[in-house]
Structure 1
Amino acid sequence: MVASSVEPEFRGARRRLVEALQDKGIRDLAVLRAIDQVPRHLFVPPTVRHRAYEDSALPIGSGQTISQPYVHARALEQLMLTGKEKVLEIGTGSGYQTALLSELAAQVFSIERFPALLDKTRPILQQANVRNVSILLGDGTLGWREYGPYDGIVVSAGAPHVPPALEEQLAEGGRMLVPIGDRDEQMLTLFIKRNGKLEGRDIVPVRFVPLIGAGGWPA
């Protein structure tokens, strides 16, 4: 969970972001509360901190980005989390979505492939007082078998297909979000596991960085 540390100068900007997301159709109160609680300005580089509460994607280094808040909110709504779940995140990135998930789930396990990003993200999560998150450096397409199965899985990079290991590690009745498509454009797709098989539904067109790994795109 995040112990909110909102500097006064960001409070108004955060509230305006929440209102903008409501105007765009976000209705899940838990998701909106998480966005209101998590200090996004901590998770972006100082050079773009003045834009932290714009509804836009921003660069975070290593060729990666922090996604548009609307995309985060629309995706997290689909997971329908109640606060009791165990969730796997593929692509820790800036750590912002990790922190949002920490507000929405009981336990979060997150995997990042870039050591430089992870070195920056760990202390930021500590600064934000996120305590129910475990992070692993490795190939996210292989999942984190030790702690599976997971009630929810969120993949934060574009994949050509669902990585087999992630399908296996999703619990029966669990929900998984994966951007499926080519390296440039994808469709954010919600998969629900029923009777051991995935049933998919398109959510929204997106543009994510490629999912690199044994179960995704080659490096």
Structure 2
Amino acid sequence: MDWEKARYLLVEQQIRPWNVLDSNVLDRILNTRREDFVPADKKELAFVDVELPLGNGQLMLAPKVEARFLQEIALKASDKLLIVGSGTAYLAALAAGLCAQVVVIEADTKQAELTNAALKAAGIKNVSIEVGATLASKQGPFNAIIAAASFEAIPEELSKQLVVGGRLITVIGQEPIMHATVVTTQGSGANTTREVFDYNLPRFQAAAKPFAF
């Protein structure tokens, strides 16, 4: 397969049509080898517009959703980002080139090991991985949070880790209709929310014992 051509077509045929126009996000996608972050037996599906099963009940997000999450969270070069959810190696790799530090909370120990190995192989050094049953990281507070899973409502455990002016994006609601929602903290306990697109994702899964790589 011509991976570079496939990557170009991914941007032009899937990601741009999904209203992802941020040049920093698009450049990061063009310069990050998604095929190196998918399971080996699904490498030929790296640029298909679907969630990919990871073999442990978790899913790798569709590329257009990863791109849209990054655009909507509006990362700055100085930001510290928390990513929560399953299949986040590629998402973390993209984000690592857009902000100063990325912390990943992974629910599954085996997936965390694979994520850590993939990031190291790609030479990415500003991502740390924690495995645990909590949504909270000891490395907060954060300027931005991406929760790559769904919840019935915005989890307070996530939003309280944001600095004033921090942003959180996740999927909120119940089937058949859920909404990707951005929360921005305003201080004094006040938050603003906006729904940015309709999309369904599985509920967040928690692991049993926390530890960090």
TM-score normalised over the length of structure 2: 0.90
Residues 66 and 184 (structure 1 numbering): CA distance in 2 closer, same or farther, change over 3 Å? farther
Higher helix share: 1
Aligned residues: 205
Determine if the alignment matches structure 1 residue 127 to structure 2 residue 121: yes
Q: 1:206 aligns with which of 199, 202, 205?
A: 199
| Structure 1: gaps (5+ residues) | 1-7, 215-219
Q: Conserved in 2, the CA contact under 8 Å of 1:184 and 1:209?
A: no
In 2, the alpha carbon distance for the partners of 1:153 and 1:82 equals 13
In the TM superposition, residue 29 of structure 1 has moved relative to its aligned partner by 0.5
Change in 2 beyond 3 A, CA 1:23/1:160: closer
SS in 2 for 1:211: coil
- RMSD of aligned alpha carbons: 1.8
Rounded to whole Å, the distance in 2 between the matches of 1:53 and 1:65 is 15
Aligned to 2:83: 89
Deviates more, 1:80-89 or 1:19-28: 19-28
Percent identity reads 31
Aligned with residue 140 of structure 2, among 142, 148, 160: 148
* Aligned mate of 2:151, from 130, 146, 159: 159
Task: Name the structure 2 match of 1:46.
Answer: 40
Q: Which residue of 2 aligns with 1:178?
A: 170
Q: Does 1:79 align with 2:80?
A: no
Q: Which residue of 2 aligns with 1:3?
A: none
Q: Unmatched 5+ residue regions in structure 2? A: 208-213
Where 1:50 maps in the other structure, the secondary structure is: helix
Q: 1:28 to 1:18 in 2, by over 3 A?
A: same
Range 197-206 or range 181-190, more displaced: 181-190
From the superposition, tell whether residues 94 and 109 of structure 1 become closer, same or farther in structure 2 (CA, over 3 Å). closer
Are 1:31 and 1:73, in contact at CA under 8 Å, matched by a contact in 2? Answer: yes
Of 5, 21, 37, the residue aligned with 1:12 is 5
